Structure 1
Amino acid sequence: MPVPLETINPLVRRSSAALFLALVFGLTLWVLSPFFSALAWSGILAYMTWPLFRRLRSRLPGHETLAALLMSIVVTVALLAPLAWVMFAVADDVGVAAGVLRQIAASGLPSLPATVSAWPGGGWLLARYAEIQTNPAWLHASIEALGLTELSTWGAVVGGVGRNLAKFALAVFALFFLFRHGAQMLTQFGRVSAHWLGGSARAYLDAVGLTVRAVVFGIVLTAIAQGCLAGLGYWVAGTGSPALWGAVTALISLIPFVGPVVWIGLSLALLANGETQAGVGLFLWGAFVVSWVDNLIRPLAISGPTKIPFLLVFLGVLGGIRSFGLIGLFLGPVLIAVSLAIWHQALDQANSAGSSTEALPHPAPSEGQNRLS
């Protein structure tokens, strides 16, 4: 049966419009894709500092541009000042660590103290260490594989730092415009979301906001706190390069429950060098102070406001970092939060539909059913 002509034209128009919109938005996303990471960080910074910006804007009525500029400067200084201090401190420690590695690569590992044999399993540890010590070629190859003694490796690190600084500059530049026009952008986005998603849009936006705040306080700030506390313990215990090891602890602590690897390893190193008091003290500091932040504050800060099981947040962090890089620290848990919001909404609809079905009166049996029963 031939299709009427009047039904073809609307279909063609709709298909052409959908294809045109997909092409335009696809090309737009492709053009902006190199800047997604910087824009995402800018959005996170704007969201976390928005209450402060509102207070500043209320004190400067009619001067939104000035308030946005001042707030952008405050955020930049607040981030750059401690970051610059950490970078300079770590740079000094990295130079010392590179020198130690070069010395080990040239002359081999130093001998362990005899007191290690008194440890539980100390004999096995001494035997394995002796095997490595008597194979300097393997040790040299392992250190060279790390590339930490090569200038090209540090050149790549410097290049990576430069690229990240450029992204940071772009994020701060975009942050000014988010402060200046963020309220209008959020209103427009809410209208479009409500048009496409209906009443569910608000729930999804709330889930995103709560998750970003929980990740910032539950993962990023707790990791920084762990790094600072651990670095203080390293400095008091007399370990070499405390700023470097504190920064390493903070970075590793972004992944929940992994941070103890650093301070446990340094505690064992102190004990192996015969510094029993420092080694035991550092272990107790890590177990009762540093890990307390990781094991108690982090789950409460994440699972409390979001109502998301901590296991899902943990998997979201790992999967997000694996898939999207450092920004995946936020994207992974956010995607899980939105998925759970959709799931709970569908579950509520299913429950309401089931309860309404149960409330309906049962139809009376037909005459044939009466004869069969």
Structure 2
Amino acid sequence: MATASPLSRRLVPWLALAGLGCLVYLIMDPFLAPLAWAGVLAYASWPLTNRLRLKCGGRETLAAGIATVLAVLTLFAPLLWLAWLGQQEIGRIYPAVQTFIAAPPMPPVWLQRLPWLGAWLMQQRESLLSDPLGMASLARTWLSDHAIDAAILAGGIGRNLVKLVLALTILFFFYRDGARMFREVRHVLERFIGPQAQGYLAAAGSTTRAVVYGILLTALVQGTVAGLGYWVAGLTSPVTLGVMTALFALIPFGTPLAWGGAGAWLLFEGEVGAAIGIWIWGGAVVSQIDNVFRPMFISGVGAIPFLLVLFGVMGGILAFGLVGLFVGPIVLAVVWAVWREWAAHLDDA
């Protein structure tokens, strides 16, 4: 009876493992985003979970349940509050838009004197005054043409809410069994890679911490400070605009688009002083928060360059969506750790 060659004995298990990995990926693909979100949330709040575990006398299930309830309250309570405020502010925005269409304000004199823009603005104002119902008709036509897009957007919001609920469910098991999972992952990686797997895991963990605190918390602070400026400037929806600014702040160099647009709106309404104040507040305070807090957290990562984290954030968003905000920098941080490990061995040689 013929025996298998040494090459086939080594190759067949690896092929079987690769096929099994492909099957696992096909099964788990719909759940990868909730798993990633649950992992990020669990890692970011792990110190609090350890304290709860000590308070509960080492009872893992009880501590995990309390931590999950706190996470649900932390995530859903602000969302419900913002939704209620947004509904209130949208109710005030609609009459303001109707008033603007019925009686568009006169652009500032200095804006009218601009060679091309001033003439175009005056022409648009005259067309609105001559046919105020035309804009409403155009709006209805645009809404009817984009009804399918609105349905897709609503479906996307619903799917994201389902993913959020699933991520919070997974979060409970990460809280309860996360320490054991981490020990098993580290043990398996050390068997495949060697002792340097510890350095790769440390790089992934430190980058996750830096991205969560350096980007997410910085964006929340920027949105809060910008919303305060919008309220002082007299804008009708400071909370909604503050939330939009926080979302823009998640993207590198995206904050000026938010406070710059708010200032441009005030300028078009003739509030020159308020517009200049918003621009000064945005450039001198809101954007500078990003320059102070984010490098402070990123510097805690160690030798990982800030440019690498920047590429990870932007490329991760383009590749994986919002969860790529965290996945991208983590992947590049692990690659950087591998590179530094190999480069160090080359220097030793």
Tell me if TM exceeds 0.5.
Answer: yes
| Residue 297 (1) aligns with residue 297 (2) | no
1:13 equivalent in alignment to 2:5 = no
Q: Distance in 1 between matches of 2:142 and 2:70?
A: 39
User: Does residue 230 of structure 2 align to residue 234 of structure 1?
Assistant: yes
Shift of residue 314 of structure 1? 1.5
How far did residue 242 of structure 1 move? 1.8
Output the TM-score relative to the length of structure 2.
0.88
The answer to whether the 8 Å contact 1:90/1:247 transfers is no
- 1:146 CA drift (Å): 7.5
Supply the distance in 1 between the matched residues of 2:107 and 2:98 (Cα, whole angstroms). Answer: 22
Q: Alignment partner of 1:159: what SS?
A: helix
**Change beyond 3 A, Cα 1:315–1:130:** farther
**Deviations 1:41-78 (Å, cap 9, x if unpaired)?**
00111101111111111121242111110111011101
Aligned pairs, how many? 345
Contact 1:320 1:330 in 2 (8 A): yes
Question: What percentage of aligned pairs have identical amino acids?
Answer: 40
Structure 2 letter corresponding to 1:170 = L
2:263 corresponds to: 267
Query: 1:252: which partner in 2?
Result: 248
Gaps of 5+ in 2: none
Q: Is 1:129 equivalent to 2:125 in the alignment?
A: no
Counterpart selection for 1:204 from 196, 200, 207 = 200
Report what 1:310 is aligned to: 306
**1:175 Cα shift?**
0.8
Tell me how large the CA RMSD over aligned residues is.
3.0
Question: Residues 255 and 318 of structure 1 are in contact (CA less than 8 Å); yes or no, is this contact kept in structure 2?
Answer: yes
Moved more, 253-262 or 67-76: 253-262
Corresponding residue of 1:117: 111
Answer whether contact 2:105 2:270 (CA < 8 A) is retained.
no
Q: Is the Cα–Cα contact under 8 Å of residues 116 and 272 in structure 1 kept in the other structure?
A: no
Q: Give, as a single letter, the amino acid of the residue that structure 2 aligns with 1:264.
A: G
Is 1:70 paired with 2:66?
yes
| Cα distance in 2, alignment partners of residues 89 and 175 from structure 1 | 28
Counterpart residue number, 2:280: 284
Q: Distance in 1 between matches of 2:142 and 2:79?
A: 25
> Match for 1:183: what amino acid?
A
Cα distance in 2 between the residues matched to 1:97 and 1:155: 23
Pair 132,317 (structure 1): closer, same or farther in 2 beyond 3 Å: farther
Q: Which moved more, 1:55-64 or 1:305-314?
A: 305-314
Taking structure 1 as the reference length, the TM-score comes to: 0.83
Whether the 8 Å contact between 1:102 and 1:149 is mirrored in structure 2 is no
Q: How far is 1:343 from its partner? A: 1.1
Aligned-partner residue type, residue 284 of structure 2: F
Q: Which residue type is aligned with residue 115 of structure 1?
A: V
**Corresponding residue for residue 361 of structure 1:** none
Is the CA contact 1:147–1:153 (under 8 Å) kept in the aligned structure 2? no
Deviations 1:224-267 (Å, cap 9, x if unpaired)?
11111111211221112222211211111111222112212222
Unaligned runs of 5+ in 1: 354-373
Structure having the higher Rg: 1
| Aligned equivalents of 1:291, 1:342: Cα separation in 2 | 34
Give the distance between the partners of 2:267 and 2:97, measured in 1 at CA.
Answer: 20
Indicate conservation of the 8 Å contact 1:320/1:333, yes or no.
yes
Counterpart CA distance in 1 for 2:58 and 2:144 is 54
Contact 2:42 2:175 in 1 (8 A): yes
The match for 1:187 is 183
